[in-house]
Structure 1
Amino acid sequence: MIMLESSKAFGSFAVNNLEEAKDFYTNTLGLKVTDHPMGLLELHTPSNQAIIIYPKPDHIPATFTILNFPVKNLEKTVDALIIKGVTFEQYTGQIQTNEKGISKSKHGPHIAWFKDPAGNILSLIEEG
């Protein structure tokens, strides 16, 4: 029987341009990104193993959120990223967002979605 309870699992996702991804995750989001010798990027966050970003020239973005960032103050974080040129998604169906792209549902956390340069959907989720 194979047991994985001690395995340090990590996530990964594709982008169509590593240089654009490195610039966005480093300079726009302010995250630590390092080059990996295998031609990949490693995205470092305080609570995880490194998240691998790998090149895929024919990349098609997922239609769901691939990475979530918990934040203490959603409104301030959204404002700071808007100043850096991030555009937040606008939803009008089952999920409703305000003019900034923030969903303030009674049934879940306050959340805002945005895309990286490859079209991957990311989110900010207000903690607590």
Structure 2
Amino acid sequence: MLANSLAFSSFSVSDVAAARDFYQDTLGLAVTEQDGMLTLHLGGGGTVLVYPKDASHEPATFTVLNFPVPDIEVAVEALVASGVELEHYAGTPMETDTKGIFRQGGPLIAWFKDPSGNVLSVIQE
């Protein structure tokens, strides 16, 4: 029934202007804005709708967007150089190293947050 639908994901932010700056200027994504909402244009043609939610905004408690990368070390260094702070989960099953990279099994992954507190990741392909 929906096999040919051009599905997309979405999540909310508390400040659309700050989100636009972060996704466009810091992460380097193509971003368009219409009707007070953002569309993130992802590699491969996918899109994500980012919509405003005022004072009632609560960031997601899970990863809302994963960016596959060929080399996580290079991606983490570039994020840090752009001013992004990586999440560190010391003392948890998802414990990360000093660089913020999870290396305890499964794919190498590093988490960070957008200005609204939503969790994003870079994950080694």
Question: Out of 2, 7, 17, which is 2:5 matched to?
Answer: 7
Partner of 1:104: 103
> Which region of structure 1 is more displaced relative to structure 2, 114-123 or 46-55?
46-55
Aligned alpha-carbon RMSD (Å): 0.9
Q: What is the rounded CA distance, in whole Å, between the counterparts of 1:114 and 1:59 in structure 2? A: 18
Partner of 1:69: 67
User: How big is the shift at 1:78?
Assistant: 0.5
Q: What is the rounded CA distance, in whole Å, between the counterparts of 1:105 and 1:7 in structure 2? A: 37
Partner of 1:17: 15
* Structure 2 counterpart of 1:102, one-letter code: I
Q: TM-score, normalised by structure 1?
A: 0.92
User: How big is the shift at 1:12?
Assistant: 0.5
Question: Is the CA contact (8 Å cut-off) linking 1:10 and 1:48 kept in structure 2?
Answer: no
Gaps of 5+ in 1: none
Q: What is the rounded CA distance, in whole Å, between the counterparts of 2:17 and 2:36 in structure 1? A: 11
Q: What is the rounded CA distance, in whole Å, between the counterparts of 1:53 and 1:63 in structure 2? A: 16
* Structure 2 counterpart of 1:34, one-letter code: T
* SS of equivalent residue, structure 1 residue 79: helix
* Structure 1 counterpart of 2:47, one-letter code: A
User: How many residue pairs align between the two structures?
Assistant: 123
Q: What is the rounded CA distance, in whole Å, between the counterparts of 2:46 and 2:72 in structure 1? A: 24
Q: What is the rounded CA distance, in whole Å, between the counterparts of 1:124 and 1:86 in structure 2? A: 12
Q: TM-score, normalised by structure 2?
A: 0.94
Q: What is the rounded CA distance, in whole Å, between the counterparts of 1:54 and 1:17 in structure 2? A: 9
Gaps of 5+ in 2: none
